Amino acid sequence: MTVIDPENAPLTADIPEIDEDERARLKARQLEKIGKWILPAVVMALMIFGWDRIVVWNEIPHYILPGPGRVLSTLIADWAMLFDALLVTLQITLLALAVAVIGGVGLAVLFTQSRLAEMSFYPYAVILQVTPIVSIAPLIFIYVDSRLAGLLICAWLVAFFPILSNTTLGLNSADHNLRDLFRIYGATRWQRLRFLQLPSALPYFLGGLRIAGGLSLIGAVVAEYVAGTGGIGSGLAFRILEAGYRLNIPRMFAALILIAVTGVVIFAGLSFLSHMLLRKWHESAIKREG
Amino acid sequence: MSTSPAPIGQRAPVLHMESVHKVFGGQVVALSDMELQVNEGDFISLLGPSGCGKSTALRLIAGLLHPTRGRITWEGGQGSGDLGVVFQEPTLMPWATVAQNVWLPYRLRGKTYNHVKDEVLEALKLVGLEQFQNAYPRELSGGMKMRVSIARALVTRPRLILMDEPFAALDEITRFRLNNDLLNLKAKIGCTVIFVTHSVFESVFLSDRIVVMAARPGRVIRELQVDAPYPRDETFRTSSEYAAHCRAASDALHIAMGEAA
């Protein structure tokens, strides 16, 4: 039998004790860290390679399916035109998102302050939401003269509902004991809103905002398809339509890639914003051990 | 402030409950004709089984409910900041730091933080958390959160503090420590407390008056006095005097349960 003498035990201060479980966990964490970035990159590389090979081996003409190299060179060649279009689409998307935030949060606050307003108007918010935007958009462009205003209204209609419904849920989910406490201390309606309900609603609002960011881009693109008029000041969706008529398939792909990248950037930006605002106190933003 | 309260018969009154009756939904009698006079420096426990109306009584005093009959009057009227409340959960705002949470009662009265900073830090010092003023609630243990909640209740130096089973969700070791700390606090600032509990031992250790209540309908069936002097410490917990008071309270509680059954 061996008795380990603690005095003469080997120094383990610089080598922390690691058992099987610990090792497995560390390994899993490392795999997670690397895999999160490398695996999607590998999949993408494989897909682009496969795409290229299919085009080359089958000798598919570029007006049916262009190879990735051709799409890239089109993207570079048409950059000036596509970038202008991107700015237009981006402008409508961000404006619509801003108006959706103001409208969604404003309506949510109104609904929680006045039960009468909620009962009167909430059903109509739902009706606006469930009616497909493609079916309303042509009407909007008949009645609204300004093309920009029409596009904005369409994108807003698509984007505002998740913000409204999430913020309403958040405003109503303030801790009931804290509500009682505010009543006991004689808080005014405004104080309750400012110090209790709005902070409680923040995580819900940010969740809605992330959905609305993607939706406002979809709204902007769909509205452009419907609006259809071209010329100066056209967005990416119009460029896709136009390239389609001219059988310029590589440009369609290039514009499509720009739209997808824009969506990802908007989502990432809003996720980052959400993380920064919540990282100090909310469970969703706190990294857990084990 | 006083370190030990005047004898029970000689304290100035703070609040009266006169035949307070509360009926829910027109038929459930939550509280039946409750009489209670709260005096300055009292530590009153409301002890009873669930459904005996002890929490209803507290909510009535807090003004969250209104009596169906009878009245509750504050001696000299109720001013803002006269009341502090501690709930069963710590009920802190997770987005605010410890100091901001304790500031809340003043903030709702329109006082800026710099204006009342000394009071906030003093309250945190009383509960032993002054070095945690910038921490967020999630970084604290259950017992520490409850201390913040207590600091918030006493920051305005209210005339009456209501506590609704504040330590029921804590482990026993933490509960004992907080019981001791609560009595130390009481010795330091001489606060008046109404404490709802269903623990006989807690009520005897903490209070000088125990109001025993029964359920269906919720009512007061007996009032006991625990005349052991403050400060009380661990030696009181093991004394024969403590055991005798516990037995008396326990017997009264048994009667309360028996009457309800």
Q: What ipTM describes this predicted complex?
A: 0.91
Option in A182, A202, A280 nearest B108 (CB): A182
Tally of CB atoms within 10 A around A225 = 14
Burial readout B182-219 (b: 16 or more C-beta within 10 A, e: otherwise): bbbbbbebebbbbbbbbbbbbbbbbbbbbbbbbbbbbb
pLDDT in tens, B8-19: 778 889 999 999
**Measured between alpha carbons, how far is B195 from B5 in angstroms, rounded to an integer?**
17
Tell me the mean pLDDT in the region B161-180. 91
Cα gap B99→B121, rounded to integer Å:
7
Q: How many CB pairs under 8 A join A and B?
A: 52
Closest CA to A209 of A250, A124, A134, A266: A266
User: What pLDDT score does A230 carry?
Assistant: 57
CB B216 within 8 A of CB B233: no
Residue ranges of E strands in chain B: 13-24, 28-39, 43-47, 69-74, 83-86, 160-164, 193-197, 209-214, 219-225
User: What's the pLDDT at A285?
Assistant: 73
For A134-185, what is each residue's pLDDT tens digit? Answer: 888 889 988 988 888 888 999 999 999 999 999 999 999 999 999 999 999 9
Residue A54 pLDDT grade (very low, low, confident, very high; cuts 50, 70, 90): very high
- In sequence order, what are the residues at sequence separation of 6 or more whose Cβ sits closer than 8 angstroms to the Cβ of residue A4? none
B136 with A191: Cβ contact below 8 A? no
Which residue ranges make up each domain of chain A?
A: 19-57, 68-278
Judged by CB atoms closer than 8 Å, whether chains meet at B104 and A191 is answered as no
**What is the model's pLDDT at position A1?**
44
Q: Chain A contacts of B94, Cβ < 8 Å?
A: 281-282
User: What CATH number matches the domain at A68-278, 1.20.120.1200, 1.10.3720.10, 3.40.50.620, 1.10.10.10?
Assistant: 1.10.3720.10
Distance (Å, whole) CA A83 – CA A262 = 12
Long-range contacts of A55-64 (CB under 8 A, 24+ apart): A62/A249, A62/A250, A63/A247, A63/A248, A63/A249, A64/A249
Rounded to the nearest 10 degrees, how much is the dihedral formed by the CA atoms of B94, B95, B97, B98?
-20
Residue type, A259: I
**What is the number of other CB atoms lying within 10 angstroms of the CB of residue A257?**
15
Average pLDDT of A96-120?
A: 93
As a whole number of angstroms, the distance between CA A131 and CA A100 comes to 17
Could you tell me the two tokens for B71? 């009245």
**For the stretch A6-26, what's the b/e string if a residue is b when 16 or more beta carbons lie within 10 angstroms of its beta carbon?**
eeeeeeeeeeeeeeeeeeeee
**What DSSP designation does A197 have?**
I
Considering only CB atoms, A178 lies closest to which of B62, B91, B138, namely: B91
Q: What's the pLDDT score for residue A284?
A: 78
Q: Any idea where the domains of chain B sit in the sequence?
A: 12-82+158-260, 92-157
Enumerate helices (H) and strands (E) in chain B, giving the number of each.
8, 9
Cβ of B87 within 8 Å of Cβ of A281? The answer is no
Q: Which residue from B minimizes the CA distance to A196?
A: B93
pLDDT digit string, tens, across residues A248-274? 999 999 999 999 999 999 999 999 999
Contact A185, A122 (CB under 8 A): no
pLDDT tens for each residue of B62-87: 999 999 999 999 998 887 788 999 99
Enumerate the residues of chain A whose CB falls inside 8 A of the CB of residue B87.
Answer: 177, 180-181
- Hey, are the CB atoms on B104 and A185 less than 8 Å from each other? yes
Q: Is the pLDDT assigned to residue B255 strictly greater than 70?
A: yes
pLDDT tens, A67-94?
999 999 999 999 999 999 999 999 999 9
Contact residues, chain B, for A177 at CB < 8 Å: 87, 89, 91
Domain B12-82+158-260 homologous superfamily, CATH: P-loop containing nucleotide triphosphate hydrolases (3.40.50.300)
d(CA A252, CA A237): 9
The span from the CA of A289 to the CA of B13, in Å, is: 53
- Compute CA B45 distance to the chain's CA centroid, rounded to the nearest angstrom: 7
The pLDDT assigned to A229 comes to: 60
Task: Look at A180 and B89 and tell me if their CB atoms are within 8 Å.
Answer: no
Higher pLDDT, A3 or A265: A265
- Reported as a pLDDT band with limits 50, 70 and 90, residue A8 is low
pLDDT on residue B233: 83
Q: How confident is the model at residue A2 (pLDDT cuts 50, 70, 90)?
A: very low
pLDDT at B260 over 60: no
CA distance A113 to A108: 9
| Residues present in chain A in total | 290
pTM of the model: 0.85
> CB of B156 within 8 A of CB of B81?
yes
Q: Which residues of B touch A195 (CB under 8 A)?
A: 93, 104, 107-108
Cα separation, A136 vs A159, whole angstroms: 15
Residue B11 has what pLDDT?
86
Q: B216 vs B183, which has greater pLDDT? A: B183
Q: Where is pLDDT greater, at B44 or B232?
A: B44
Say yes or no to pLDDT of A287 above 80: no
Distance separating alpha carbons of residues A70 and A76, to the nearest angstrom: 10
Q: Compute the distance between CA of residue B192 and CA of residue B14 in angstroms, rounded to an integer.
A: 9
Compute the C-alpha angle A57/A62/A68, nearest 5°: 70
Question: Closest Cα to residue B192, out of B70, B11, B34?
Answer: B11
pLDDT digit string, tens, across residues A212-253: 999 999 999 998 888 876 555 688 998 898 898 898 999 999
Is B104 in the A-facing interface, judged by CB distances under 8 Å? yes
Q: What percent of chain B has pLDDT over 90?
A: 69
In this predicted structure, the answer to whether residue A290 has a pLDDT above a threshold of 50 is no
> In the prediction, which pLDDT does A72 show?
94
pLDDT of A233 reads 65
Mean pLDDT computed over B108-113: 93
CA angle B29, B34, B35 (to 5 degrees): 170
Q: Any CB–CB contact under 8 A between B138 and chain A?
A: yes
Mean of the per-residue pLDDT values of chain B: 90
The tokens for B128 are 């032993």
Contact A166, A207 (CB under 8 A): yes
Report the residue of chain B nearest A174, measured CA to CA. Answer: B93
Interatomic CA distance for residues A124 and A130, integer angstroms? 10
CA B159 to chain CA mean position, Å: 12
B135 has pLDDT over 70: yes
Q: Order the strands of the B28-39 sheet from edge to edge.
A: B28-39, B13-24, B69-74
| DSSP track, B28-87 | EEEEEEEEEEEETT-EEEEE--TTSSHHHHHHHHHTSS--SEEEEEETT-PPTTSEEEE-
Nearest to A221 by CA among A197, A240, A207, A244: A240
Hey, CA dihedral for A215, A218, A222, A228, is it positive or negative?
Answer: positive
Mean per-residue pLDDT, B165-188: 90
Q: Is there a contact between B62 and B85 (Cβ–Cβ < 8 Å)?
A: yes
Are A193 and A235 in contact by the 8 Å Cβ rule? The answer is: no
